[in-house]
Structure 1
Amino acid sequence: MSDRGSRPPRALSPLREHLRETFWFAPAMTLVVACVLWFAASAVDEQIVSYLREEQAYEEIQDLVKVAEDTKQIVVTVSSAMMTFIGVVFSISLVAVQMASGQLTPRVVRIFVRSRISKLTLSVFLATFVFSLLVLSSYESETDPRRVTSLPFVQSVLTALLVGLSLLLFIAYVSSTLRLMQIGPVLDHITRDTFRVLGRMPAGRPGGEPLPDETGRILYEGRAGVLRDVNVARLVRAARRQGVVLRLVPRLGDFVVPGTPVLAVHGGAAPGRHALRYTVSVGVERTLHQDLAFGLRQLSDIALRALSAATNDPTTAVQCLDRIVQFLAAAVRLPLGTVHHRDRSGAVRLVQEVPSWEDLVDLGFEEVRRCAADVPQVSRRLLAGIDDLLPLAGPDRRGPLVRHRTLLVQAVEHAVPDADERGFSLLPDRQGIG
């Protein structure tokens, strides 16, 4: 058990996280910015021409006309070339996503969807294309400096700057995509996201007062799907106003269907429906916004795919075990199981179940252990990982580790009849076989 303490719960921003899971929002906003930028640049160009006409500087206007005529062909070339660049970006993205999904796990596709450099590159490319089209509409057929009303001088300069930015982003995008097609950076990305979730876990002292009697339950109304995140601050605020304690029935990552209980009420009447709006978010797949176990799920999936007969890549499985052990070593001393969220006065208002230590150990080791009996590289790394975790774990948390070690030894003894080979497979090694 762990208590959040007297510090008020931090307001979550699920909308921001959900927008990061989409690939349309950033390009759409960039197109709006490109249009606004063109309007501003066009107004500046008109002011420049108006000022020169007032000063009767017709020679300067004539020079600007010549510059505009020279840059018009460049803008035309840019507008046509950007569509080719956009096609290249899409092609690279689709190939990278297909390779990652086939070789690792479909769950890692979210890394590419959330990639900032991919969204930024596509957004700037689209903005450059749209901006160049708008600039073309600013060119006038009139060449008499006395009749010219606008010249796209500032617009042409901005187009050149956007082209330069697009080239730099294209280089960064290719470099980033090539890194994400390698197993090491992918595992590192998953691990860092998982540690962010672990860092947001409420830390506090163990223990807690018993909950009041359950007085009601709130049923879920909405589409069926996976519970992705919970607005803790809003739930705590609703429970405080009602003077009750709410308990989240499903855990993050559970699949919920309409009509099943989502909240249990303790100590009074349930808050109104309006107070509980937008407190839980359900989607078609899990996310790493608040789901502590989803990172381990991805690492375990990649390891299982690597150990399959079709792939047969135990080195990748060893790399996954490295990250699993890293995460478990960080979580071994943290309070897990049940979290009490408190309001400003220190009263418990929301109780939430999170994965326990045993749940995390089972998720990280169970399935990999079952496939590691006849793969000495993986069995040796798994034994070394468990041996590294045992000194870090307290007496109350060594049980799951000892159980997995015992089961692994038994499985290897059953799968490897030769004594010498069995002894080799049961020798702990942090590199597997090096």
Structure 2
Amino acid sequence: MWSSFWFVPAVFVLTSIGLFGITHRLDVLLSADLSNVPLLFSGGPSAASDVLSAIAGSSITVVGTAFSLTIVTFTLASGQYTPRMLKHLSADRGLRVVLGAYLATFVYALLALRTVRFSGSSGGEFVPLVSTAVAFFIALVCVALLIYFIYHVINLIQPSAIFHQIYAETMNALSRLPDSGTNGGESDSSRFDPTKNPELNLLRSEAPDILKAGQSGYIQHLEIEVILKAVCSAGRTRLVELPYVVGDFVPEGVEIVRVWPACKTGFNDGAEEKVRKGVIFGKERTIERDITFGLRQLADISLKGLSPSTNDPTTAMQALDRTEGALIKLGVKDLPGRTQIHKVNDAEITVLIDNPTFEDFTELSFDQSRRAAFSTGQVIYLKRSLEAIERAMDANHAPQRRLALWRRAFSVAYNAPSQLPDRRDALTLTLQSLRIARKFRDSDPELSRSIENDLKEILALWGNSTFEDRVREAVSGLPHPPASGLSQRAASS
């Protein structure tokens, strides 16, 4: 309810109606005694009518004009950053408070205006002194709110404010993951390995019971326990597969649950309705339980900043700063497994679900933006991405995670010689990548083997080049002299 755009304005309007009921009652009971009270309205019916009409007309005009211009401003800003930012802006409480205050002022002034009676009318002359004074005071408050509104909108469309909102929601989603101490477990997120459980693999070769989606939309929340209780037969079900996870778009009619072994009678009555309670669909993705959506938005902003039409590497690097923070936070979190064991009615059920792995997160965070940076020659962004990779490797101690991050650093070193016209820029990126390799080369045997093979490829790329000696020295970990490779060869000859 609080997330609804109209909830706060509706509360303001209802409050203004209640406030008018109180002030009008005071006007009726005490009108004869209030005519000489300081700070209250002291004019006649015509003046009161003019004041209330001006307040009502100006308040609705200001709010209409201000919010129309705001929508245009937000639309232009979303084109520069990401269209998904409109959702964050429309959910801003400050905007809803200002809208509610102006609408409440308009409604209050209209209600007070209808109580004004001129001489000669039925019931005699009546001036709502208290109501008019309160309307005047509320109008002054709206003037202050207009100043706040302008300042607030300017701040909302600042890149830092947009990044902070996305980053805060992403970190909140990460906080829902279980803590893992400092080892960042990843083995529980591996895909189903049929060699480790040939019995279940043989079971999967049979035709399963299938439950199809009754509607289309993005999965916003997935309650596995609710789904299992709905589809599992007591003492019979052994394996359940969920092909879609939070953040996936599900077309109507596709399979969303597969159950083995199949039952001749199919699912129990009402199973489909119960599954709907465990799979919450929506028309768009949300970050609350969808970490990849937060990283996706940050990656989109980076791509916009790196595009030739925008050419804003600073904004791209600010988005990368937040991506780095999320990957470091993942260092002390365990990711949900792709093969899980759940207990339903004292029976163990194996659940296969295609949850994203750390490899998926690193691919989303670096791969597209790396290609865009190479295509536009944004060397400074590539340097910053290597710094982010190194810090993320420091925070994530699991070998699989470090290997996923190293692959991104290696991709920079591997593509730099062929993608960048300036060989010195390529050398700088290569040496930075090699520094990361030396730092983590001995942290794990599997990672060490991968790095050693990658270093051979990097050396082959720089063979017979001016800077071959510097690359070889960097690979071996020996300090190189400040002179270039060309001057070294000249000196030796």
TM-score normalised by L of structure 1: 0.78
User: 2:257 aligns to what?
Assistant: 263
State the alpha-carbon separation in 1 of the partners of residues 273 and 157 from structure 2: 45
SS of 1:355's partner is coil
Of 381, 389, 395, the match for 1:392: 395
How far did 1:23 drift? 3.6
2:217 aligned with 1:225 = yes
1:34 maps onto 2:16 in alignment = yes
Q: Does the CA contact (< 8 Å) of 1:45 and 1:150 recur in 2?
A: no
Instruction: Return the letter of the residue paired with 1:369.
Output: R
CA distance in 2 between counterparts of 1:136 and 1:261 reads 61
Distance 1:375 1:246 in 2: 47
Per-residue deviation, 1:31: 3.3
Residues in 1 aligned to 2:68 and 2:245: alpha-carbon distance in whole angstroms: 38
Letter in 2 for 1:220: A
Can you give the 5+ residue segments of structure 2 that lack an aligned partner in the other structure?
190-196, 434-493
Shift of 1:428: 4.8
Change (3 A) 1:330 1:41: same
Q: State the identity %.
A: 26
Q: Distance in 1 between matches of 2:14 and 2:406?
A: 58
Describe the SS at the equivalent of 1:293: helix
Post-superposition shift, 1:300? 0.6
Structure-2 separation of matches of 1:29 and 1:346: 49
Q: Distance in 1 between matches of 2:329 and 2:423?
A: 36
Contact 1:337 1:354 in 2 (8 A): yes
- Classify the secondary structure of the residue corresponding to 1:287: coil
CA 59–357 in structure 1, closer or farther in 2 if over 3 Å, else same: closer
- Compute the displacement of 1:346 (Å): 10
Query: 1:193 aligns to what?
Result: 169
Mapped partners of 1:261, 1:160: distance in 2: 61
User: How much has 1:38 moved relative to structure 2?
Assistant: 2.9
Shift of residue 161, structure 1, vs aligned partner? 4.1
1:372-392 superposed Cα distances (whole Å, 9 cap, x missing partner): 233211111111111112222
User: What is the distance in 2 between the residues matched to 1:241 and 1:163?
Assistant: 65
Instruction: Flag the 1:88–1:113 CA change in 2: closer, same or farther, 3 A.
Output: same
Q: Are 1:97 and 2:70 counterparts?
A: no
Aligned to 1:367: 368
Partner Cα separation in structure 2 for residue 117 and residue 86 of structure 1? 14
What letter is aligned with 2:299? S
Partner-residue secondary structure (3-state), 2:67: helix
Q: Choose 298-307 or 163-172, whichever is displaced more.
A: 163-172
Task: Verify the 8 A CA contact 1:197 1:291 in the aligned structure 2.
Answer: yes
Spell out, residue by residue over 1:90-134, the C-alpha distance to the aligned partner (whole angstroms, 9 max, x if none): 133123212212211212121211111112211211111121111
| 1:309–1:418 distance in 2 versus 1, CA, 3 Å | closer
The structural deviation recorded for 1:328 is: 0.5
Residue identity in the other structure for 1:167: V
- Alpha-carbon distance in structure 2 between the residues aligned to 1:428 and 1:142: 87
Q: Which amino acid aligns with 1:322?
A: D
Once residues 397 and 320 of structure 1 are traced to their aligned partners in structure 2, the CA distance between those partners, rounded to angstroms, is 21
Separation of aligned partners in 2, 1:226 and 1:292: 14
Shift of 1:40: 4.3
Question: TM-score, normalised to structure 2's length?
Answer: 0.70
Match of 1:380 in 2: 383
Distance change (3 Å), C-alpha of 1:309 and 1:65:
closer
Give distance in 2, aligned partners of 1:25 and 1:281: 22
Residue of structure 1 equivalent to 2:419: 415
Amino acid aligned to 1:371:
A
Tell me if 1:80 matches 2:81: no
Question: How has the CA–CA distance of structure 1 residues 319 and 60 changed in structure 2, closer, same or farther, with 3 Å as cutoff?
Answer: closer
Q: Is the 8 A contact 1:379 1:426 kept in 2?
A: no
- Cα deviation per residue 1:49-71 (whole Å; 9 max; x = unaligned)? 4xx7xxxxx56568789456454
**Conserved 8 A contact 2:286-2:293:** yes
Q: Is the 8 A contact 1:314 1:375 kept in 2?
A: yes
Match of 1:290? 289
Match status 1:116 vs 2:93 = yes
Aligned-partner residue type, residue 245 of structure 2:
R
Letter in 1 for 2:221: D
Aligned-pair CA distance for 1:352: 5.7
Aligned partner letter, 2:64: G
Distance 1:87 1:294 in 2: 33
Alignment check: 8 A CA contact 1:386 1:401 kept: yes
RMSD over aligned CA atoms reads 3.8
Judge which range, 89-98 or 235-244, deviates more: 235-244
Q: Secondary structure at the match of 1:390?
A: helix
Rounded Cα–Cα distance in structure 1 between residues aligned with 2:289 and 2:329: 17
Where does residue 115 of structure 2 map in the other structure? 138
Residues 112 and 128 of structure 2 are in contact (CA less than 8 Å); yes or no, is this contact kept in structure 1? yes
1:151 deviation in Å?
A: 5.2
Count of residues in correspondence between the two structures: 400
Structure 1 residues 312, 129: closer, same or farther in 2, change over 3 A? same
Q: 1:266-309: per-residue Cα shift (whole Å, max 9, x none)?
A: 68855634434444333332222321111111111111111111
Could you tell me which amino acid in structure 2 is paired with residue 140 of structure 1? R
**How far apart are 1:76 and its partner, in Å?**
1.9
Q: Do the aligned partners of 2:177 and 2:333 also contact (CA within 8 Å) in 1? A: no
2:298 match: secondary structure: helix
**Paired residues of 1:332 and 1:357 also in contact (CA < 8 A):** no
Q: Matches of 2:400 and 2:295 in 1, distance apart?
A: 22
SS of residue paired to 2:289: coil
What is the match of residue 4 of structure 1?
Answer: none
Structure 2 letter corresponding to 1:125: Y
The Cα shift of 1:365 comes to 0.5
Deviates more, 1:86-95 or 1:365-374: 86-95
Question: Aligned letter for 2:303?
Answer: L
Amino acid in the other structure paired with 2:370: R
Residues 43 and 108 of structure 1: CA distance in aligned 2, closer, same or farther (over 3 Å):
same
- 2:332 match: secondary structure: coil
